[in-house]
Amino acid sequence: MKNINVAPFVKWAGGKRQLLNHIRLRMPEKYNGYFEPFVGGGAVYFDLLPERATISDLNSSLINSYRKIKEVPEDFFDAITIFDNGIVGGGKEYFYKVREVYNDKLMKAEFDVELAALFVFLNKHCFNGLYRVNGKGLFNVPYNNSVKASCTRESIKAISESLQKVTILEGDFQITCDFAQKGDFVFIDSPYAPLNPTSFESYTKEGFDIESHRRLAKVFKELTNKGCYCMLTNHNTELINELYADFNRDVVNVKRMINSDANNRVGKEVIITNY
């Protein structure tokens, strides 16, 4: 029986929790290794808990948190508990003070346990769990008025145990995809193509532009030729349908929880498979 404490430790824009049933239904019956080059909050990984897995992301702070929870879960929990205790009495003023500390460490590239704890703390106490940075790469999402604890010791321990045999990489999706071999399953939850083709945004300062989407589509085809099972999810846009016209495409309804306008919280995503 699956450990109920094994679940995403951060909320992530574009996370696939609400699509898990659709994803399970379209999984290959059998596969060797599991690869996820845009792991984000890890909703799919934590749902499947594959025996052999390689996960990665371009977001250095996110990957640092995965690694520290894997390697030193007790140190991570002790560190985040300090911030959780501080928010109870400090509220808004404390949140913005902590955000400054995080950005200062980020600019100094201090990817340690404290930065990992700061990252998760800010994720749980910022508006909608967004990770957004300005042009200088500084995290700038406002406080959500929550004083709840970011996690439990039990959940961090369970997550750490689940990651012990997982390879955790940082960087471009190409790096992870290059390791996939025939019979492996590659789940690709790439940054969303915009509903408005004139505006491209990303959660990292590097961005993920149209050319990046075209490059990813090329990698998808290369993985297909290699004999990998591939599944990709994204907005159901003209661009995405054009790039993956040669593959199976299923359109499903989703809720857009991030949108501030409740009337715009319904949309469609496309699940693309090569098998």
Q: HEC states along the chain?
A: CCCCCCCCCCCCCCCCHHHHHHHHHCCCCCCCCEEECCCCCCHHHHHHCCCCEEEEECCHHHHHHHHHHHHCHHHHHHHHHHHHHHHHHHHHHHHHHHHHHHHHHHHCCCCCHHHHHHHHHHHHHEHHHCCCECCCCCECCCECCCCCCCCCHHHHHHHHHHCCCEEEEECCHHHHHHHCCCCCEEEECCCCCCCCCCCCCCCCCCCCCHHHHHHHHHHHHHHHHHCCEEEEEEECCHHHHHHCCCCEEEEEEEECCCCCCHHHCEEEEEEEECC
What confidence category does residue 206 fall into, taking pLDDT thresholds of 50, 70 and 90? low
Q: What percent of the chain has pLDDT over 90?
A: 79
Query: How many Cβ atoms are within 10 Å of 174's Cβ, its own excluded?
Result: 13
What does the pLDDT read at residue 195? 75
Mean pLDDT of the 82-95 span = 97
- 66 vs 62: CA distance, rounded Å: 7
Tally of CA atoms within 13 A in the half-sphere of 256 that contains its CB: 15
- 180 vs 226: CA distance, rounded Å: 9
Check pLDDT > 90 for residue 17. no
Is CATH 1.10.1020.10 the right assignment for the domain spanning 66-156?
A: yes
Answer whether 145's CB lies under 8 Å from 90's CB. no
What confidence category does residue 232 fall into, taking pLDDT thresholds of 50, 70 and 90? very high
What confidence category does residue 186 fall into, taking pLDDT thresholds of 50, 70 and 90? very high
Check pLDDT > 70 for residue 197. no
More confidently predicted of 4 and 45 = 45
Tally of CA atoms within 13 A in the half-sphere of 261 that contains its CB: 3
Check pLDDT > 60 for residue 203. no
Check pLDDT > 80 for residue 169. yes
What does the pLDDT read at residue 79? 98
What pTM value is reported for the model? 0.91
CATH 3.40.50.150 residue ranges in the chain? 17-58+171-273
Residues 6+ apart with CB under 8 A from 74: none
Check pLDDT > 60 for residue 201. no
Identify the weakest region by mean pLDDT among 180-184, 204-208, 235-239, 259-263. 259-263
Q: What percent of the chain has pLDDT over 70?
A: 90
Check pLDDT > 80 for residue 260. no
What does the pLDDT read at residue 33? 98
CATH 1.10.1020.10 residue ranges in the chain? 66-156
Query: How many Cβ atoms are within 10 Å of 181's Cβ, its own excluded?
Result: 13
What does the pLDDT read at residue 21? 94
Answer whether 83's CB lies under 8 Å from 117's CB. yes
Write down the mean pLDDT value for the chain. 91
246-255: pLDDT as tens digits: 999 999 988 7
- 174 vs 157: CA distance, rounded Å: 31
Mean pLDDT of the 83-105 span = 97
Task: Quote the CATH superfamily of domain 17-58+171-273.
Answer: Vaccinia Virus protein VP39 (3.40.50.150)
Check pLDDT > 50 for residue 202. no
Check pLDDT > 90 for residue 257. no
- 137 vs 51: CA distance, rounded Å: 35
What does the pLDDT read at residue 233? 96
What does the pLDDT read at residue 88? 96
Residue 59 CA, chain-centre distance (Å), reads 9
Check pLDDT > 80 for residue 266. no
113-129: pLDDT as tens digits: 999 999 999 999 999 88
